[in-house]
Homo-oligomer: A and B are copies of this chain.
Amino acid sequence: MDTPLHPPVSDPDLRLLDRYWRAANYLSVGQIYLLDNPLLRQPLEAGHIKSRLLGHWGTTPGLNFIYAHLNRIIRQRDTNLLYICGPGHGGPGMVANTWLEGSYSEIYPDISQDAEGMRKLFRQFSFPGGIPSHAAPETPGSIHEGGELGYSLVHAFGAAFDNPNLIVPCVIGDGEAETGPLAASWHGTKFLNPVRDGAVLPILHLNGYKIANPTILGRTDDGDLEQLFNGYGYEPLFVVGDDPQLMHRQMADVLDKAFDRIQQIQQAARRGEAQKRVPRWPMIILRSPKGWTGPKTVDGKKVEGFWRAHQVPVAECRENEAHREILQQWMAGYHPDELFDDAGRLMPELQALAPTGDKRMGSTPYANGGRLRNLLEVPDIRQYAVEVNRPGETLAQSTAVLASYLSEIFTRNPENFRLFGPDETASNRLGKVFDVTNRSWMEAILPWDEQLAQDGRVMEILSEHQCQGWLEGYLLTGRHGLFNCYEAFIHIIDSMFNQHAKWLKVSRKLPWRKPISSLNYLLSSHVWRQDHNGYSHQDPGFMDHVANKKADIARIYLPPDANTLLWVGDHCLRTWDRINVIVAGKQPEPQWLTMDEAIRHCEKGMGIWHWAGNETAEDPSDVVMACAGDVPTLETLAAVDLLRQYLPDLRVRVVNVVDLLAMQTKEQHPHGLDEQEWETIFTADKPVIFAFHGYPALIHRLTWQRNNHRNIHVHGFNEEGTTTTPFDMTVLNELDRYHLAQNAILCVPGLQEEAGGVLDALQEKLAAHHAWVREYGEDIPEVHNWKWPSHEDKGGAPD
């Protein structure tokens, strides 16, 4: 047995702590039920009670219990704790505790620490114009929206990375513990380095029931639980019971032990003692009744310790006098007169139990990451530029070029930036970053292993949920990062993306919440280059999902080559309070723009590539060939090349779009172009053949308000995919050069009759492609070796 680092807490101190807990419980009940009469100075009347009773009592007393005990730890050890409240439905508890410690009233002075403030505190809860029923951006001390379950522990680890002076107690409900993302999150310790990172203290709160069901882990016996968490690599510590007095003693002792263990692990590691394996971090299993200290039964039915305590344990207290009496007894049982003085202030001896200043969990800057955020140090993108003497002459791998820039980001921001990915960083051609850092890995490293280190800064785990959640936690505590992922599988975190977008939408409007770095996605190994993995790996629909979000948050970029990707990547990393989605290729592809051109093009978001077209001021375009995405750009230019060979008199304009949402109107999106600007690019009346990276419908929904909309003909992914060659993927979906050129001919009024032979020639090329691919399993040389321009370039207008 290790000697405790602190003497055990005294019984009188525990009795004080119990009173603090009762105060928090009292305030929690009050929020759910009361409109008025907050201190029960009069008998409860119908008019004191809310007409709609909303909120979740079941988990709340447990959350309050933990909060009160953690306050003691902070004072004892002068440590920084960030409380992650997985059972976020227990919003009343988080609000109650931050009000008790004073954090709440500092942020919301109108909710003062007195009887009137308490009245407003109660009234506003789950009330129109008030605050949500769950822990939310509005809740001081929270980085974790309590709506969708599953992400508390992964957020905790994200917060702890690179925060060596932070400990993150993370309460995980036994409901949440059934979700997949949570079940995988326990492995976070295998990536947590006690030298440079903080610690996570998981507190698995087993109250036994969900909405209307027992929980799996709640019904699992202690022996199996102990093995399970030992197996995950933890040292589980149990706190079990329902008698508050006994539970306070257990909890205090177990917390002392857990924080001692954390300190020992960190100190040993920071003294430089060799770490042979992942430290066996402590975790706590707290079994306490659902709805603890609430009504035991209502109308003869079991409530405390059962799922009936999940939300509002006694209903209709406005209408039903007997129920109102239960509520009265329940609240009075906390003895508010022993907790609050005449003015409704917490008794001074209880006030003294809370930490002060930024040590209060409701005031910690770690929960308001913008307060801690340092700007990212970025290099000049020009030094990574690909030299482009002529459009299409050079080949480069866009993501590999970006990787050089990212390496410098790592170098300049040694404690402030991480790259996340599900075992795909090398596959996405970002391997260059391993010149300056490694993959983070706390398990054993074998002699032949490569690019693994305990201090690696590339976070790879085969779980998109973990990558997303770690990054969210990292950003919400004030740092910077990038998530690289196969495009198709980013849908795995659609719902996590939703919740983060919701968080940003709300937090941006709260003046006390400072901006955090944007959540940046680099989606590579995209739909058009998953010919080898086949149909299961082909899906460009994440863009559609993102486009549904508030326009002031969402951005989607489709850089067509390496220099544009450099601009976009750099731009996104320097933004805040947004979600940026970048879709870019990893294969060798022709490069179109010099760095200067790329900068100008990206700043506008879209534009005419005059060098690729052949219109003139006197002889304007007959057709606009537009594109967004690297493969669509390549196919569009190849189609233009064909058109200019076969139909030299046809006037073609080439338009490329990088900033997809700028296709919308100014009213729809801050980047949107007004109709006049838009027509300058897309014309007011010419056919537009639009080659698009994603589902064609997305272009239609972005442009339906444009006057020329009915003239836009979109080619994109039509769910036609399989294992084949890269070019054949485009043919299957009619995004290829031949179909694009054909459609251009069909859409220019009158051209079809004149160019019937060209249509036939293009059809023959398609036939030749099919025959070749089926025979040789690779793309026909005419396509594979194609270079812009093969037509005799008669020159377009100058750029």
Contact = CB atoms under 8 A, between A and B. Distances in A.
A723 B449 contact: no
A568 interface: no
Contact of A773 (B128, B719, B724): B128
Interface string A181-211: 1111101001000000000000000000011
Interface string A111-138: 0000000000000001111111110100
Interface stretch (A351-359, A492-500, A630-638): A492-500
A76 interface: no
A233 interface: yes
B231 A51 contact: no
A491 B502 contact: no
A180 interface: yes
Contacts of A778: 51-52
A439 B128 contact: no
Given A498-B539, A704-B709, A719-B549, A181 B180 contact: yes
B178 A187 contact: yes
A556 B179 CA distance: 27
A227 B219 contact: no
Given A491-B495, A498-B539, A701-B700, A426 B211 contact: yes
A494 B498 CA distance: 12
A454 to B, nearest CB: 13
A535 B132 contact: yes
A51 B128 contact: no
B233 A231 contact: no
A384 interface: no
Given A147-B534, A443-B220, A777-B127, A548 B52 contact: no
Contact of A131 (B183, B723, B725): B723
A548 B537 contact: no
A263 interface: no
| Most chain B beta carbons < 10 A, residue from A225, A461, A494 | A494
A180 B178 contact: no
A692 to B, nearest CB: 13
Given A228-B227, A537-B147, A724-B128, A211 B136 contact: no
A175 B423 contact: yes
A599 interface: no
Contacts of A126: 532, 723
Contacts of A214: 441, 443, 446, 449, 452
Interface residues of A, number: 117
Given A219-B443, A498-B491, A147 B180 contact: no
Interface string A536-580: 110101001101111000000000000000000000000000000
A722 interface: yes
B534 A541 contact: no
A150 B724 CA distance: 25
Nearest to A718: B550
A432 to B, nearest CB: 14
Contacts of A697: 547-548, 701
B536 A213 contact: no
Interface in A477-504: 488-489, 491-492, 494-495, 498-499, 502
Nearest to A174: B462
A505 interface: yes
| Most chain B beta carbons < 10 A, residue from A147, A179, A541, A778 | A179
A50 B532 CA distance: 13
B548 A695 contact: yes
A290 interface: no
A132 B722 contact: yes
| Most chain B beta carbons < 10 A, residue from A465, A491, A545 | A491
B533 A134 contact: yes
Contacts of A545: 494, 541, 544-545
A374 interface: no
Contacts of A131: 723
B774 A129 contact: yes
A190 B216 contact: yes
A149 interface: yes
A728 interface: yes
A145 interface: yes
| Most chain B beta carbons < 10 A, residue from A461, A535, A550 | A535
A439 B152 CA distance: 27
A463 interface: yes
A644 B231 CA distance: 69
Contact of A184 (B128, B136, B178): B178
A232 interface: yes
Interface in A515-541: 532-537, 539, 541
A376 B176 CA distance: 34
B180 A466 contact: yes
A148 interface: yes
A540 B335 CA distance: 45
Contacts of A505: 535, 719
Interface in A295-336: 302, 306
Interface in A82-136: 126-134, 136
A25 interface: no
A238 interface: no
A488 B216 contact: no
Interface string A433-462: 000000101011010110110000000111
B216 A443 contact: yes
Contacts of A681: none
Contacts of A495: 489, 491-492, 494
Given A495-B494, A502-B536, A545-B494, A133 B462 contact: no
Nearest to A173: B462
Contacts of A776: 51
A679 interface: no
Contacts of A132: 534-536, 722-723
A226 interface: yes
A229 interface: yes
A134 B179 contact: no
A54 B534 CA distance: 11
Contacts of A462: 149, 175-176, 178-179, 210, 213, 215
A444 B183 contact: no
A761 interface: no
Given A214-B446, A547-B697, 11 more contacts: A51-B776, A127-B723, A132-B536, A147-B488, A147-B537, A180-B181, A183-B184, A212-B460, A214-B441, A214-B449, A545-B545
Interface of A: 35, 50-52, 54, 126-134, 136, 145-150, 175-176, 178-185, 187, 190, 210-216, 219-220, 224-233, 302, 306, 423-427, 439, 441, 443-444, 446, 448-449, 451-452, 460-463, 465-466, 488-489, 491-492, 494-495, 498-499, 502, 505-506, 532-537, 539, 541, 544-545, 547-550, 695, 697-698, 700-701, 704, 709, 719, 722-725, 728, 773-774, 776-778
Please name the 6 residue pairs, one residue from A and one from B, whose CB atoms are nearest each other, closest first: A147-B536, A228-B231, A180-B180, A183-B183, A227-B231, A491-B495
27 contacts: A52-B532, A52-B725, A126-B532, A126-B723, A127-B777, A129-B724, A133-B723, A134-B536, A136-B534, A136-B535, A147-B534, A178-B462, A178-B466, A183-B183, A211-B424, A212-B423, A213-B460, A220-B231, A224-B230, A226-B231, A492-B494, A494-B494, A498-B541, A505-B535, A547-B697, A548-B697, A701-B701
